[in-house]
A and B are shown apart, each in its own frame.
Chain A
Amino acid sequence: MTWTPGSASRTDAMMPPRPDAHPGGPAPVRPAAHARTGPRPRVARFTPAERWIHRTTAVLLGTCVVSAACLYLPQLAELVGRRALVVTVHEWTGILTPVPTLLGLVSRAFRADLTRLNRFGPHDRRWLRAVLRRDTREGARPAGKFNAGQKLYAAYISGAVLVMAGTGLLMWFTDLAPLVWRISATFVHDWLALAVGIVLLGHIGMALGDPEARRGLRTGTVDRRWAAREHPLWRTDEDRDG
């Protein structure tokens, strides 16, 4: 059972509503059908575990970035001072940033989403090509639960956090490695920090521009029409289970 407009091959009659499908409505139905049944049902997008992984990661990485700015930008450093404390905050939030993701691996839904983020199909190449060409026509940017941009962002930030943690540890525990490594680590850490900062601003900017995407991470559910528009190839778990 699917809820996308393109799923003409199936009908509601084939799929009896499931009582446990989702709060707020019967099993996924096509837009035309739920127009008859009152308020549009919402689609489950993220489990509580996934939302908490995102929240804690955001707090840790956010604090890490803000403390970095207070160490690095002269104006902020002058305003905040307290260098030893800020250094400690930066080190610990930085090294703890991967922890929510690692703990989250016990969640089946989270692991399933990591698989989705990892795998690129023909539709993702298509999505990227459309973005490069600034093609905004309907149907030009096919996406599953995550679009190709979100997949690339997830992989980029994961790799970047690991590199930052590694180079950070070399600077933190100076006895870990030969002298020249530490200088090189500082160099990589500084420049990658700049690249991470820019990409993070992009991430936050995209989220600010899409209230429904934010609602998805806040409440766990998204509007059915939003999902059909932004992620037309996405099949929810209940779709698949049905």
Chain B
Amino acid sequence: MDRNPGAAEHPAADPDTTPDPDNPDPDTAAGRGTPVGRRVILGMLALGAGGMAAAPWLQRRLEKFLAVAAENDPTGVTGLLPNGGGFRYYSVTSSVPHKNAENYRLTVGGLVDKPAGYRLADLRALPQHRIIHDVQCVTGWRVPQTSFEGVRLATLLDAAGVRPGAGAVRFTCFDGAYSESLTLEQARRDDVLVALRMRDEPLGHSHGGPVRLYVAPMYFYKSAKWLSGIEVTHEVQPGYWEDRGYDVDAWVGKSNGRDDAATT
């Protein structure tokens, strides 16, 4: 202690550092010492609760700050921070085969008059539409103003000829496990694409390429990656995450117990 500068040379002179024969262990002697440990634990709990209360405000501020930081960050470190912007890779299987222009096939079947199979070149030859919209994941991250380009799902459904009595569309993927569904009405929306390009580049494998579903108004788990099958069905069959508790109708901000701001 400062009041006893000679302590280092003469430890016996300092009560703080010298064993006291009558009070051998300073940490266990009854009545001695402040319960700092307990206070730190309670402080952490208070901080957690305070963080919960301040989260909506803090998150907005941080998102803005990190979005700017991410643009000037050649190292990519900001991408690893919570809400640091950018996509995160989610796969439900251990590995996903790679498909390319030679071996990729998209089948359209089920309750249709003309089942069809599309190669990548066939899809590219159809009318392309481009959508710029925020991507919102149900786990919280958002990638603002991301462009997707591809064929409207409605185009493929019309080409196949949906039979009367059909009410939904089911999607399967070449990862072998993932599946999704939309009602027929949802599937015919203008902002639902069979996407071939993202951010004006061909869709890469880690983003679900060469072809993924893109359902702009819904949480991103509806936008099944590695799309390989489109099947028209009578009614909606819950998909992979929906079997595990996610909402089937996954409108951004109005489902899954979330109130995210609307995507634009």
Interface of A toward B, CB cutoff 8 Å: 2, 4, 6-10, 72-74, 77-78, 80-84, 112, 115-124, 126, 137-140, 142, 144-146, 151-152, 154-156, 158-160, 162-163, 166-167, 174-175, 179-188, 190-194, 232-235, 239-240
Contacts and interface: CB of A to CB of B under 8 A. Distances in A.
Chain B contact residues: over half helix, strand or loop, or mixed? loop
A159 B46 CA distance: 10
Interface string B1-34: 1000001100110011111010011111000111
A102 to B, nearest CB: 14
Given A160-B44, A185-B52, A120 B257 contact: no
B16 A151 contact: no
Contacts of B26: 121, 123, 144, 233
A81 to B, nearest CB: 4
Contacts of B33: 118-121, 124
Contact of A78 (B47, B82, B206): B206
Contact of B11 (A6, A144, A180, A191): A6
Interface stretch (B35-43, B194-202, B226-234): B35-43
A206 B87 CA distance: 35
B165 interface: no
Given A9-B21, A118-B36, A234-B25, 6 more contacts: A118-B35, A121-B16, A142-B17, A144-B26, A144-B27, A179-B258
B24 A166 contact: no
B82 A190 contact: yes
Contacts of B17: 123, 126, 139, 142, 232-233
Nearest to B91: A81
A82 B94 contact: yes
Contact of B90 (A77, A174, A175, A186): A77
Contacts of A194: 81-82
Nearest to B23: A235
Contacts of A240: 24-25
Contacts of A187: 51-52, 55, 58-59, 82-83, 140
